[in-house]
Amino acid sequence: MRILILFMLACLTLQAQCQVAIIQDNDGFTNVRSKPNANSEIVYKISVNEVFWYNSEDDDFQKSEWVEVYVLKNKYSFNSIQSETVNGFIHKSRLLPLDKLKIYKASDFNFEYVIQPFKTQNHIIDRDKSQWVSAIDGRHAWGTDGGLPRKEVIKINLTIQGKIIQVSSAFFCDIYECENSFNVYKNGETYFVYQHNSDGAGGYELVWVFTKDGLKQRLVGSII
C-alpha cells in the first residue's frame, strides 16, 4: 500500500512539472538530441504538430537554450507503461507550448463524448492481490486510482469541416471519468483537443490530434 501511495505521488509531481507542446520549425521537424548540445547524438525527430511533454520545472529551464522532452514511443498511447518514452533535448527556440496557441472556437470543428455510468457487467475486470483494479478489458484504466470508474465513454461524436469522422472504440475504451470540458487549439490544418480528466491520484492529461482525414495521435497520461 505504501509503495502504491508513493507511486501516485510521484505521478502527480511529474504531471505538475511537465507540459504539452508541439514544435515550430520551418524544416517540418526538430532533432531530439541525447544531450543539451548540437553535437550530441540524434535520438528522434519530432514532426510538426506531433505532441509531446517537456520539462518546464527543471532548474536550468529558464537559463538554458535547451529543454528536456519526452516523446511517447506509441503515438496512440496504447502502452500501459507511462515511462515508454524517447527522452532527449531540443533547442528551446523550437518549442511551442500547446497553451500558447489561441483557443479555437470556430464551427468547423465539433467534438463531444457520449458518456454513461460505468457498468461492471459489460467489462472484464482484473484485480491484483490487494484487490485493486489493475486492468479493465485487458487495458490500463486511465482515470482510476485502484477503484472502479464511475463514468465511461461509449462514443465520440466528431465533425471536421462538415465531415463526420469515425473514432474507433479502441481509442476511448481505456479512458474513464471524462468530461465534455476541454480546450481546442488549431495549428495549420491540425486540431488539438486538450483536457485533464479525473482528479487526485487518478488524474491524467489527454490530447487528441486530428486533421480532416481523422485521428493522427492520442497522448494520454503523465511522465514517470
Rounded distance between C-alpha atoms, residue 173 and residue 138, angstroms: 10
pLDDT beyond 60 at 148: yes
Rounded distance between C-alpha atoms, residue 43 and residue 71, angstroms: 11
CB atoms within 10 A of CB 105: 9
Rounded distance between C-alpha atoms, residue 6 and residue 74, angstroms: 26
For the stretch 111-146, pLDDT in tens is: 999 999 999 999 999 999 999 999 999 999 999 999
For the stretch 181-197, pLDDT in tens is: 999 999 999 999 999 99
pLDDT beyond 70 at 57: yes
Which residue bears the cell 537554450?
65
Q: How confident is the model at residue 223 (pLDDT cuts 50, 70, 90)?
A: low
| Cell numbers for 134 | 489493475
152, 118 in Cβ contact below 8 A? yes
pLDDT of residue 5: 38
Nearest to 204 by CA among 132, 137, 140: 140
pLDDT of residue 56: 83
| Residue 185: strand pairing partners | 103, 192
| Residue 146: strand pairing partners | none
pLDDT of residue 199: 85
Domains of the chain (ranges plus CATH)? 2-100 (2.30.30.40), 109-221 (no CATH)
pTM for the full model? 0.90
For the stretch 1-23, pLDDT in tens is: 433 333 343 343 344 457 999 99
**What is the CA angle 133-134-138, rounded to 5?**
115
In the chain, what percentage of residues exceed pLDDT 70? 88
Going by the DSSP 8-state scheme, the letter that residue 41 receives in this structure is P
Q: Whole-number mean pLDDT of the chain?
A: 90
pLDDT of residue 114: 98
Q: What torsion do the CA atoms of 95, 201, 126, 81 make, to the nearest 10 degrees?
A: 30
